[in-house]
Amino acid sequence: MKARIVIGSNYGDEGKGTVVASYTKKSENVLNVLTNGGAQRGHSILTKDGSITFQHFGSGTYYGADNYYSKYFILNPMQFVSEYNSLIVKPKNIFRDKECRWTTPYDMIANHIKEETLNRNASCRMGIWNTIKRYQDMETITIDEFVKDENKMFKYLLDVKAYYEKNIAIPDRWKDIWNSGTLVVHFIDDCIFMVENTIVSTLGSLEYDEMIFENGQGLLLCDTGKDTFDTTPSNTGILYSLELLKDVKNADITAHYVTRPYLTRHGDGHLTGEDNRVIISSGIDEDRTNHYNEGQGQFRYGMLDIEALRERVVKDSRNVNFELEVTHCDEMDRVNEFKKHFGKVNIYDSPLV
């Protein structure tokens, strides 16, 4: 069984979706594993049907891949239902680990309130940090336990609501939605839908010709153990995938590190070599798949240090065979530089797959 681990090399937005979709298109019987993070990811591919952004589904979905949510992925029932209903191609099978953490509306609203209070653009506002912190602070249940008992559903959500009310002040502009009974009812419906349309399974029990692990974020955002806007609460490198693959027999593993010829970053936080995109390269057009949104702010650009890139890729790869995937090469010609430092390089001139 071929196992491909697709990893962002920088601050995210490198083109991981393009790489995952490209390898899926070339294969049959593929399982697309969403390795880490949650629905704050936004992996876009350009197809004959236009631009498609995947958050709660793998970027190989469009080309027929089944999906698997690992124990390191945080479920979001609301985003699952919304995205599932909009998919042009739906996975035949959607699997999940029974221990997946899951986000409630209160986690997301609390995330919004915090970012607004701090007046910053450092979060997609999907409640990822909030969910992780809540799991550390209060007794939790699995989503399967939640949907089995109607009384438990309402009690659990009231407990989550009360948890936040002890820790943050709810601004007046948020109180209507915060106290909405309709929100609760719709969320419960979304949880039931998600449970009914996914299959609890271990990764090792599934048989596929190819598994493509799709990481969220990038190596320069890797978890430091601190709640800062410069990082994400997840290991963004190879670690989680290797842990998951311990249960998979006879896996032929290759790590695929993805980069553009330049750096990009959404919103606030340090960006090495930041500059105007046209100064970095006159060929860099306004980004084709990443646009302004309230949570992440402006899309920023920086000059990429290829030697530093190689250092962090080699360090993260843990002696696993790896290949470099360079997207957006039509915007900046650095192919020879990449080959000098990495040898074999896989080139993508256009994000169309």
Domains of the chain, first to last: 2-97+202-260+304-347 (3.40.440.10), 105-196 (no CATH)
Query: What is residue 223's predicted lDDT score, i.e. its pLDDT?
Result: 66
Query: 198-221 as b/e, with b when 16 or more CB fall inside 10 Å?
Result: beebebeebebebbbbbbbbbbbb
User: Kind of pairing, strands 299-302 and 263-266?
Assistant: antiparallel
Cβ-Cβ contacts under 8 Å for 339 (sequence gap 6 or more): 345
Helix (H, G, I), strand (E, B) or coil at 180: coil
Query: What is residue 150's predicted lDDT score, i.e. its pLDDT?
Result: 85
CB 200 within 8 A of CB 99: no
pLDDT tens across 157-195, in order? Answer: 999 999 999 989 999 999 999 999 999 999 999 999 999
Token pair of 328 as six digits: 């957006």
Token pair of 188 as six digits: 């419960």
In the block, tokens 């962090």 appear at 312
- Beta-carbon neighbour count of residue 6 at 10 Å? 31
Query: What is residue 299's predicted lDDT score, i.e. its pLDDT?
Result: 87
Query: What is residue 209's predicted lDDT score, i.e. its pLDDT?
Result: 97
> What is the rounded average pLDDT for all residues in the chain?
92
Query: What is residue 234's predicted lDDT score, i.e. its pLDDT?
Result: 81
CB 252 within 8 A of CB 10: no
Nearest to 264 by CA among 282, 277, 255: 277
pLDDT tens across 53-79, in order? Answer: 999 999 999 999 999 999 999 999 999
Q: In terms of C-beta distances under 8 Å and separation of at least 24 residues, what long-range contacts does 54-57 make, across chains too? A: 54/17, 54/83, 55/79, 55/83, 56/80, 56/83, 56/84, 57/32, 57/83, 57/84, 57/87, 57/91
- Phi then psi dihedrals of residue 121, to 5 deg: -115, 80
- The pTM score is 0.94
Query: What is residue 349's predicted lDDT score, i.e. its pLDDT?
Result: 86
Helix (H, G, I), strand (E, B) or coil at 233: coil
Query: What is residue 296's predicted lDDT score, i.e. its pLDDT?
Result: 63
Q: Residues in the chain with pLDDT < 70?
A: 120-124, 223-231, 288-297, 351-352
pLDDT tens across 214-229, in order? Answer: 999 999 988 665 555 5
**What's the one-letter identity of residue 27?**
S
- Phi then psi dihedrals of residue 317, to 5 deg: -70, -20
